[in-house]
Amino acid sequence: MAIKVENNTIYLGVKDLIVSRKHSKTLSSFPLPQRGMLGQKAQINLQRHKKRHYGLFHSEYHVKQEYNYQNYTFVVQGRIDGVYQLKERVEIEEIKSVILEKKEFRNLQILGYPEFSDQVLFYAYLLQDALGGLEVGAFLILINLIDDARQTFKIPYNRLKVENSLFNRFSLILSTVKRQEEEQSRRQNAIRRINFELPENRPQQKALMQTVHDALSEKQHLMVSAPTGIGKTAAALYPAIRYAYLHNKKIFFLTSKTTQQNIVRQSIHPLIEQNLDLHTLFIRASKKMCANDVFFCHETYCAFAKDFHDRLLNSNTLQNILEQNLLTPEFIFDQAIQHTLCPFETSMEAAQYADILVGDYNYVFDPAVSLRQLFQKKDNSDWILIIDEAHNLYDRGVEYLSPQLKADTLKNLADFTARKKTKVYQRLAEALQNILQFFKDLDIEGESHHSGQQYFQTHLDIARWEDALALYEAAFIKYLIEKIKKKWLIVDDPLESFFFALRRFVQVARNQSDAFTIYYNADSGGILHIQCCDPSEYLGRIIDRFHAVIAMSATLDPMHFYQSVLGFPEYRTQKTQMSSPFPADHRRIIIAPHISTRYKDRNTTYPKIAEIITQTIRQKTGNYLVFFPSFEFLQNVNLFLGRSPYTTILQRPGMTEQIRDEVLNELRIHSEPKLLLAVMGGIFSEGIDYAGDMAIGVIIISPALPKISYDRELLRNYYDNKLNMGMEYAYIFPGMNKVIQSVGRLIRSATDRGIVLLIGERFASEEFNHLLPSYWFEKEGDVVITSDVKKAVQTFWKATRK
């Protein structure tokens, strides 16, 4: 219920007055992704073609009235689909869409849709008061999206009956508000009894907790760069939980990898053990939660989707789930399938009652998959957002806003639809051919003005692309209805996938700023790209909707870079940098500047790098992690490592989480030492704890500069023009971030000891060296730059034995 209470005033919409009475008459119990779009389009078409010869017609007519009830003021507002102003009365119409079999729609009784009738009657009551008691006629129009058939029902309007219903609803709402106030008071008393003290005394962690508390109290955003071992997760969560509990807020904890969610679970567990009533729900993608044989969300093909809402209401599944505090995907899945309910939709229902949600960045920032049922408003001030490993959000933001369309995909779809003889496919074929013409024009442009170039920048005629989208959308809607009507099962439908790809492309194309570059790749059949160079405006708009956003990472440096690219507003953003909680004597950072790791020199330095690795791991037996900038570099150095007493484990492209976990288990077994060769920015270099003896050394081969590409050069040019820092923003800052993240795998506790070896002459240059964390240089000797790596390693290990 989207109701806002301020002092003795209650603000609500007409839809908040409706008592939901779910029915199972539709073919699909779930709103299809296009469901809202279909209904809206049907409404627009109906009103556009109306030919009433009397009255002045207003669409989307806004009404707002105030009513006093039991010492409270209720402010009710909404938008009526259509209002006809006549000489002595007004008529209103509310338009609703359904998806029903033709025969079922013809025999439809409006009594089966009481919430539709309630809505139009409440609108009539509000409008009559707004117009000084003028006579009002109420009409409800139902459109069947299967075939555009429609029925109009005159809804009898009895003011006294509607008034009784309205004030009965006020009474229920007021009871709910008072119960919520009592519940909030109970929660405030409960949270004050909880011990938020942490088991270890870490001064930096306590300082960070206070900083987070202050930011939340002041409704400020906070960017935190804090090295591994401080305990950032608990330091952010504990004050956020306390604040949210006391101020009726909710928390969304965002992670870029599922492994980071385990740390959240561990952090919350001590609070739950104290009997804190805290529901934490971990969100898993719908496809991974699917219980059906095929991933196809339609009741015709999925027993778990059929009559979902009816069966959810008639079972105790949701109540049973909410009796637990840790709502894991596995637990919800087991509970849902016991009652043949869709596990993902069940988790979304449970999310409405959760205090904390834990999930991927996409659920907030990706326009295609964000949780609109939670974040559909422009104001999310009832939420606190915590972004873990926030340095990853920049690349994600760029990815969300950098769509592409492939000519080959279009050609294949055009050929497929052209072979079909039915009208619905012919419409699609026509729309696809229309879009293919853009690619033909681009090929001509390339031949005429960019001969011999694989890439060239171009511009888009937005009006033409809008028309193309409208044409394909219209054809696709007819196709979608045909699928529903004839019960076609098309898993991973390419025509549907292309619709969403085209819609995202056009949505992004509407951005006409210099942060976006349109270019064409003439190879691979032709690919049209929109490259986002700067997602800060988009990300910043979302960030600023929240009560507060806590963005934290071990490598949020340089801070000005991340504040700039993530769009954190200067006027309400605090920044803090923490030092390491562990003694500097427990580690030694060694830079080997005599080896060139530049691309042009690599063929001659592969054996030298292998020799340094071998020398290093021979000085003390234990597990070592060696991180490379690419798989190619890794494989070439591995060729020169030769025979070794170490078991060598190589990361390979496309490794699954299961294989990663098996490798981590191997590192925990101390039967023989292991040498893990992995890539920076991969599954072994972020979000993983190598605690204790899992690793005693990290060796970094070269700054992990992104590979030179056309996309990356566009970034460089953009930031050169904007800040005169193109090389830094496009290559150096992202590359060094991966280095520092990889180094952070070492020293995870106060008892850990180990060495860090940075191989490459660039690590000793000022351009790169000044980006290393300041806490690495607490005193002289913490960082050693030397070509005698063997001696430096020996010296450290001898010192640790004293």
For residue 447, count other CB atoms closer than 10 A to its CB.
11
82-109 as b/e: b if 16+ CB within 10 A: bbbeeeeebbbbbbbbbbbeeeebeebe
For residue 129, count other CB atoms closer than 10 A to its CB.
17
pLDDT 10s digits, 271-302: 988 988 899 999 988 888 887 776 666 666 67
Helix (H, G, I), strand (E, B) or coil at 74: strand
* Rounded to 5°, angle at Cα 209 from 741 and 273: 100
392-400 and 536-543 helices cross at what angle (nearest 10)?
A: 110
Residue keyed to tokens 């920048």: 457
Residue keyed to tokens 């190598």: 690
Residue keyed to tokens 């003011």: 159
Cβ contact 685:651 at 8 Å: no
Cα dihedral sign, 45-48-50-51: negative
pLDDT at 793 over 80: yes
Encoded amino acid at 28, one letter: S
Question: What is the rounded distance in angstroms from the CA atom of residue 407 to the CA atom of residue 569?
Answer: 39
pLDDT range class, residue 47, cuts 50, 70, 90 = low
pLDDT at 26 over 80: no
pLDDT 10s digits, 588-643: 999 999 999 998 888 899 999 999 999 999 999 999 999 999 999 999 999 999 87
Question: What is the rounded distance in angstroms from the CA atom of residue 482 to the CA atom of residue 490?
Answer: 12
pLDDT 10s digits, 213-224: 999 999 999 999
Helix (H, G, I), strand (E, B) or coil at 290: coil
Question: What is the rounded distance in angstroms from the CA atom of residue 204 to the CA atom of residue 228?
Answer: 11
Within its chain, how far is the Cα of 754 from the centroid? 36
For residue 19, with 0-12 CB atoms within 10 Å meaning exposed, 13-18 middle and 19 or more buried, which class applies?
exposed
Helix (H, G, I), strand (E, B) or coil at 701: strand
CA-closest candidate to residue 686, choices 395, 453, 449: 395
407-419 and 423-449 helices cross at what angle (nearest 10)?
A: 150
Copy the structure tokens of residue 347: 């988790």
Question: What is the rounded distance in angstroms from the CA atom of residue 552 to the CA atom of residue 436?
Answer: 45
pLDDT of 369 reads 77
pLDDT at 31 over 60: no
> Beta strand 326-327 with 280-282: parallel, antiparallel or unpaired?
parallel
Helix (H, G, I), strand (E, B) or coil at 156: coil
Average pLDDT over residues 336-362: 91
Encoded amino acid at 575, one letter: K
Report the largest interatomic distance among the alpha carbons of the chain, rounded to a whole angstrom.
Answer: 99
Q: Out of 20-24, 345-349, 351-355, 732-736, pick the least confident.
A: 20-24
Task: Output phi, psi for 404, to 5 deg.
Answer: -145, 155
Average pLDDT over residues 684-694: 83
Cβ contact 22:87 at 8 Å: no
The per-residue pLDDT of the chain, averaged, comes to 88
Q: Cα separations (Å) of 521 from 452, 458, 493, 528?
A: 12, 11, 26, 6
Q: What is the 3-state secondary structure (H, E, C) of 405-460?
A: EEHHHHHHHHHHHHHCCCHHHHHHHHHHHHHHHHHHHHHHHHHHHCCCCCEEECCC
279-292 as b/e: b if 16+ CB within 10 A: bbbbbbebeebbbe
For residue 323, with 0-12 CB atoms within 10 Å meaning exposed, 13-18 middle and 19 or more buried, which class applies?
exposed
Question: What is the rounded distance in angstroms from the CA atom of residue 247 to the CA atom of residue 236?
Answer: 17
Within its chain, how far is the Cα of 183 from the centroid? 31
How far separated are the first and last CA of the chain, in Å rounded? 65
* Rounded to 5°, angle at Cα 496 from 495 and 501: 95
- Strand order from edge to edge, sheet including 546-553: 326-327, 280-282, 356-360, 250-255, 380-387, 546-553, 221-225, 573-577
pLDDT of 653 reads 93
Residue keyed to tokens 């940098």: 577
DSSP state of 78: E
Copy the structure tokens of residue 722: 């904007």
Question: What is the rounded distance in angstroms from the CA atom of residue 485 to the CA atom of residue 487?
Answer: 6
Copy the structure tokens of residue 279: 């529901």
Q: What is the 3-state secondary structure (H, E, C) of 546-587?
A: EEEEEEEECCCCCHHHHHHHHCCCHHHEEEEECCCCCCHHHE
pLDDT of 198 reads 77
Average pLDDT over residues 641-661: 88
Outline where 90-231 has alpha helix (H).
Answer: 102-106, 114-130, 159-191, 203-217
pLDDT range class, residue 29, cuts 50, 70, 90 = very low
pLDDT range class, residue 139, cuts 50, 70, 90 = very high
Cβ contact 391:686 at 8 Å: no
pLDDT at 712 over 90: yes
pLDDT range class, residue 311, cuts 50, 70, 90 = confident
Residue keyed to tokens 């964000």: 370
Encoded amino acid at 777, one letter: F
Non-local (6+) Cβ contacts of 406 within 8 A are 524, 525, 526, 527
Copy the structure tokens of residue 739: 């280095």
DSSP string, 769-793: HTTS-GGGGSSTTSEEE-S-HHHHH
pLDDT of 376 reads 63
Copy the structure tokens of residue 119: 């809505």
Between residues 1 and 540, the one the model is more confident about? 540
pLDDT at 28 over 60: no
For residue 672, with 0-12 CB atoms within 10 Å meaning exposed, 13-18 middle and 19 or more buried, which class applies?
exposed
CA-closest candidate to residue 88, choices 55, 58, 59, 115: 55
- Strand order from edge to edge, sheet including 697-701: 647-650, 674-679, 624-628, 697-701, 754-759, 587-592, 783-785
Confidence (pTM): 0.85
